[in-house]
């Protein structure tokens, strides 16, 4: 049987726009809009400005490369992709896959850099986005918690694969070059948890995207990456997961074994990309469902916060120990501080929602918080469960009169079509460095991306003149 990278390479290089189901095309447009919205927000933050300054200092004067979004400077393709990924991360409007991965901070920045350089059409861009997400998420799906328990961060570790596959697809590489691109990513992947745990700032998707562009360039130049680099005895899974036999220390479902055959099973038929959800609130991903469900429960039953005795939430146990039970820096089942799950539940019950433009890091109390927030936070109980789905808590609000109301999440509350994504994300327009009218142009260009002669029309729409 062909190696995993060979199977993936063969599928990606043959994939055409006409092979994509309508839902996949729609989601590719939506995640692109989500990424650009985050870049626009992130460009105004200190980390975003620092990333721009770094690349401008290092690479100013580059005559042929790619554009730094919003800023308009020209850098190498890797440099521009780095800055754009860093801004996407700083903006906090990520998409999320299985709690701990955020493909939108890596795949679209790489695809945009390649599309600008190659003159790719909107259809080519959509196809590349779909391919990048699908490969990244299939490689990671079963092993994310186990990899995190070994001290790696899954989002940059797998982000390099998604970014590189998307860029390589846009460059129309052949199967051997795509195989080498994937294999080279195994050598260039990285992302460690300890820096952020010990007072530092994590090196995340920006570095992954820059290395992704290097992997693509090397493969296009003829560098052969190898054949069993993913599943081999000394390969990627052995190094990052601890074995190439599918043995797991942790999993979201409780399984202790996963077959590596799952990586390529049903390629092009079952799209794991469609599990990607939108994190429209700039808070820890597992808290978005708490906000949404608590707000819905209070609206549907007209529950006033003054009438609430207590709130209970039963959640997937891995959501209570971020980023991993092996190295937990937060315990959501015991913490009742600002930024905790208990805090977000209380806030949502009081305000029936959460601000779209609030800074995502650090997640603390805000001067605009209702004064009752912390008092209600102390009456919230988070109950870990091994049977609850990811992002699917069961929330019960008990009122002072003894009555109670319960809502069960499905984990799919933040999976929706492009029209709903556009409606939701419009709420950030007042806090962007471009006009509301220009943001509408970006939304419409994403909506009609498959009709655009050049995908880099999106790049120009972000620029602040």
Retrieve residue 274's tokens. Answer: 């469609």
pLDDT at 211 over 80: yes
Q: How confident is the model at residue 363 (pLDDT cuts 50, 70, 90)?
A: confident
Retrieve residue 301's tokens. Answer: 């039953």
Question: For 380-404, how does the pLDDT look when each residue is reduced to its tens digit (9 = 90+)?
Answer: 999 999 999 999 999 999 999 999 9
pLDDT at 315 over 90: yes
Q: How far is CA 214 from its chain centroid?
A: 22
Confirm if 157 and 239 have CB atoms less than 8 A apart. no
Which residue segments constitute the domains of the chain, with CATH numbers given? Answer: 4-279+417-462 (1.10.4100.10), 285-408 (3.30.1330.120)
pLDDT at 114: 98
Contacts of residue 444, Cβ cutoff 8 Å, sequence gap at least 6: none
Question: For 260-274, how does the pLDDT look when each residue is reduced to its tens digit (9 = 90+)?
Answer: 999 999 999 999 999
Q: What is the mean pLDDT of residues 319-334?
A: 95
Q: How confident is the model at residue 53 (pLDDT cuts 50, 70, 90)?
A: very high
Confirm if 210 and 191 have CB atoms less than 8 A apart. no
- pTM exceeds 0.95 for this model: yes
Retrieve residue 352's tokens. Answer: 């029936």
Strand-pairing partners, residue 395, are 313, 407
Q: How confident is the model at residue 368 (pLDDT cuts 50, 70, 90)?
A: confident
Q: Which letter, b or e, does each residue of 3-29 get, where b requires 16 or more Cβ atoms within 10 Å of its Cβ?
A: bbbbbbbbbbbebebeebeeebbbbbb
Q: What is the mean pLDDT of residues 455-461?
A: 98
Retrieve residue 163's tokens. Answer: 């970014």
- The three-state (H, E, C) secondary structure of the chain, written as one string: CCCHHHHHHHHHHHCCHHHCCHHHHHHHHHHHHHHHHHHHHHCCCHHHHHHHHHHHHHHCCCCCCEECCCCCCEECHHHHHHHHHHHHHHHCCCEEECCCECHHHCHHHHHHHHHHHHCCCHHHHHHHHHHHHHHHHHHHCCCHHHHHCCCECHHHHHHHHHHHHHHHHHCCCCHHHHHHHHHHHHHHCCCECHHHHCCCCCCCHHHHHHHHHHHHHHHHHCCCCCCCCCCCCCCHHHHHHCCCCCECCCCCCCCCECCHHHHCCCCCCCCHHHHCEECCCCCCHHHHHHHHHHHHHHHHCCCCHHHEEEEEEEEEHHHHEECCHHHCCEECCCCCCCCCHHHHHHHHHHHCCCCCCCCCCCCCCCCCCCCCHHHHHCCEEEEEECCCCCCCCEEEEEECCCCEEEEECCCCCCCCCHHHHHHHHHHHHHHCCCCHHHHHHHHHHHHCHHHCCCCCHHHHHHCCC
10 Å Cβ neighbour count for 371?
Answer: 7
Helix axes 122-140, 22-42, angle to 10 degrees: 90
Percent of the chain with pLDDT over 90: 95
pLDDT at 359: 83
Q: What is the dihedral of CA 260, 275, 100, 163, to 10 degrees?
A: 80
Q: What is the mean pLDDT of residues 434-458?
A: 98
CA distance 448 to 451: 5
| Least confident range of 105-114, 239-248, 364-373, 424-433 | 364-373
Calculate the average pLDDT of the chain.
96
pLDDT at 362 over 90: no
User: Which of 140, 151, 154 lies closest to 100, judged by CA?
Assistant: 154
pLDDT at 361 over 80: no
């Amino acid at each position: 049987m062909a190696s995993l990278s060979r199977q993936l390479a063969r599928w990606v290089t043959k994939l055409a726009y006409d092979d994509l189901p309508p839902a996949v095309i729609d989601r590719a447009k939506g995640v692109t809009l989500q990424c650009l919205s985050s870049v626009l927000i992130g460009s105004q933050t200190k980390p975003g400005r620092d990333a721009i300054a770094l690349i401008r200092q290092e690479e100013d004067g580059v005559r042929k490369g790619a554009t730094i979004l919003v800023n308009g400077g020209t850098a190498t393709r890797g440099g521009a992709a780095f800055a754009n990924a860093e801004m996407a991360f700083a903006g906090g409007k990520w998409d999320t896959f299985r709690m701990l991965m955020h493909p939108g901070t890596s795949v679209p920045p790489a695809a945009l850099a390649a599309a600008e350089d190659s003159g790719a059409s909107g259809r080519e861009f959509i196809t590349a986005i779909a391919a990048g997400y699908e490969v990244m998420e299939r490689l990671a799906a079963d092993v994310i918690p186990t990899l995190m328990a070994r001290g790696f961060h899954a989002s940059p570790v797998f982000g390099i694969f998604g970014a590189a596959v998307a860029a390589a697809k846009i460059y129309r590489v052949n199967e051997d070059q795509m195989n080498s691109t994937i294999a080279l990513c195994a050598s260039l992947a990285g992302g460690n948890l300890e820096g952020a745990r010990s007072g530092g700032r994590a090196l995340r998707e920006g570095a992954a995207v820059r290395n992704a562009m290097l992997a693509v360039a090397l493969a296009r130049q003829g560098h052969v990456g190898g054949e069993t680099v993913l599943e081999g005895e000394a390969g990627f899974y052995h190094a990052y997961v601890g074995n190439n036999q599918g043995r797991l220390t942790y999993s979201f479902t409780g399984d202790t074994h996963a077959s590596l055959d799952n990586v390529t099973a049903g390629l092009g038929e079952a799209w794991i990309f469609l599990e990607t959800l939108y994190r429209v609130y700039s808070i820890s991903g597992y808290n978005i469902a708490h906000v949404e469900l608590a707000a819905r429960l209070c609206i549907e039953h007209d529950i006033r916060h003054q009438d609430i005795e207590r709130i209970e939430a039963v959640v997937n146990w891995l959501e209570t120990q971020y980023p991993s039970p092996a190295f937990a820096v937060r315990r959501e089942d015991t913490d009742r501080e600002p930024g905790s799950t208990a805090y977000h539940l209380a806030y949502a019950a009081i305000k029936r929602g959460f601000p779209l433009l609030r800074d995502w890091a650090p997640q603390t109390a805000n001067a605009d918080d209702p004064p009752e927030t912390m008092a209600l936070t102390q009456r919230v109980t988070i109950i870990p469960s091994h049977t609850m789905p990811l992002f699917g808590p069961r929330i019960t609000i008990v009122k002072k009169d003894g009555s109670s109301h319960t809502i069960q999440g499905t984990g799919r509350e933040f999976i929706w079509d492009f029209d709903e994504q556009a409606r939701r994300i419009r709420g950030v327009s007042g806090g962007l460095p471009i006009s509301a009218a220009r943001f509408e142009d970006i939304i419409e260009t994403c909506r009609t991306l498959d009709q655009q002669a050049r995908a880099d029309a999106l790049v120009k729409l972000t620029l602040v003149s």
